[in-house]
Amino acid sequence: MIGVLAAISAAMAVAAGAFGAHGAAGPQQAEWLRTGGIYQLVHAVAALAIMGVARGPAVTLLVGGAIFSVTLYAMALGAPKWLGAITPIGGTLLIGGWLWAAWLYWKA
């Protein structure tokens, strides 16, 4: 299931980046879409890479990437800017996922 979610996450990231490049309403919206797309794509690929050894961190990277990116996508599409206060929760999960993975690899 992690692989399916990671692949869907990567597809969303590409779509967000394309929309940001070709259909965003303005430069700020384009930047939010680009940033969200980059973070979501990188962490989808990372989750695929580590899911066999570090399943928990892989899921944490996917969840963190989704929270981080989807809040940016939502604001780019007109949602209230207070969603930006939620974005760091996703970033914190990304950092935690990487540190958890590092700990598991250290133990191994």
pLDDT tens profile 19-69: 988 988 999 999 999 999 999 999 999 999 999 999 999 999 999 999 999
The token duo for 38 is: 């980059």
What pLDDT, on a 0 to 100 scale, did the predictor assign at position 23? Answer: 87
Q: Work out the end-to-end distance of the chain between its first and last CA atoms, rounded to an integer number of angstroms.
A: 24
Rounded CA gap, 25 and 32, in Å? 11
Task: Tell me the whole-structure pTM to 2 decimals.
Answer: 0.94
Count other C-beta atoms under 10 Å from residue 75's C-beta: 21
What pLDDT, on a 0 to 100 scale, did the predictor assign at position 13? Answer: 96
Beta-carbon contacts of 4 under 8 Å, excluding residues fewer than 6 positions away, are none
Range of the structural domain that residue 87 is part of = 2-107
**Domain count for the chain:** 1
What pLDDT, on a 0 to 100 scale, did the predictor assign at position 62? Answer: 98
